[in-house]
Amino acid sequence: MSELRLNIATREWVIIASERARRPNAFTETRHQPRTAERPLHDPHCPFCVGNEELDLEVERYPATGPWQLRIVRNKYPALHDQGPVMRRFDGLRRTLSGYGYHEVLVEHPHHNTTLGLMTNAEVKAVLEMYLRRGRAMSADPRVEQVVIFKNHGERAGASLQHPHSQLIAVPVVPADVRHRIEEARRFFDDTGQCVFCAMLADELASNERLVYANDDFVAFVLYAASSPFHIWILPRRHRASFFHIDETELDGLADVVREVFYRLYYRLNDPDFNLVLRSTPAKEPENGYFHWYLAVVPRLSYMAGFEMGSGIFINPSIPEACAAFLRE
């Protein structure tokens, strides 16, 4: 029988449609295009491939000399611009803020035909180190309130280019979605004296039903109230509110779990489209006991329709426990 499950961290309800749930292997992608590894190593028309670099857009590269492993470039068509002050205008009910911010692209690898699950741990770690370095630099700008780091892989996830890349956008406001999550976490902390994410992590480790992979520093699990098939959170075992305040020695463990999760998704689900999103506190908020940064991994295996738009309640046509077991195999 179908049931409604509550994500205790976000207070969002999800319908687990068990009566029409599909087996996990039914979500294995039937591809109309080659998998990532089957594409050419180099695409002469790709702006991110070696030899096609638009150097006027480059912010940073690693290593600084010789052949590059990864590059940070300004987005050619940025959503925001990093020039000028933040100007606010109020006109009755209309509020306007000047479009200040940063919009950068992290080119993750010189090869056109790879992705996080196919890279080495060292290559994934280099990507995470650049997240950390550029995110800290953006956060230091007093005009920045929130740094959003995300990766779109595949057309259904919103990617317009195939070359492996992530994006970093810094905005002069705290988005409502971020504020909502923080307020819910604070409410749970006020009621119980606990971090809700730490509580969820302890529960997942105790039950072991939805774990996908874990090491000494990080744990990956399919959410109990997953809003879509194979919706995974990667949480640090050590409580930190901000990703940008972590100990850099933890990056080895994070690289290991990120590569392992995406390796399993790539081979078990046949290279699905996905979104990766970093959830962290606003730039100016100090460390606290109630919020806990994490990575959200959302394979694009189902669609949002009218009911989801009208209610805010997602229908998940899979069983989270079965999805986790499928990835553990």
Known binding residues are: 46, 49, 112, 163
Q: What is the β-pairing status of strands 94-97 and 70-74? A: unpaired
Catalytic residue from among 165, 180, 231, 245: 165
Is 165 an active-site residue? Answer: yes
CA distances to 89, 243, 262 from 115, in Å = 43, 22, 8
If phi over 0 gives left and psi between -120 and 50 gives alpha, with beta otherwise, what is residue 158?
left
Q: Using alpha carbons, select from 226, 299, 323 the residue that is nearest to residue 9.
A: 226
Known binding residues for Zn(2+) are 46, 49, 112, 163
**Tokens, residue 131:** 């997240």
Burial (Cβ within 10 Å: 0-12, 13-18, ≥19) of residue 29: middle
Burial (Cβ within 10 Å: 0-12, 13-18, ≥19) of residue 181: buried
The whole-angstrom separation of Cα 64 and Cα 157 is 31
CA distances to 80, 269, 274, 280 from 262, in Å = 30, 10, 10, 21
The whole-angstrom separation of Cα 143 and Cα 282 is 12
Burial (Cβ within 10 Å: 0-12, 13-18, ≥19) of residue 260: buried
Instruction: Judge whether 18 and 322 are in contact, CB under 8 Å.
Output: no
Q: Using alpha carbons, select from 298, 179, 291 the residue that is nearest to residue 236.
A: 291
Specify the DSSP class assigned to residue 159: -
Catalytic residue positions? 165
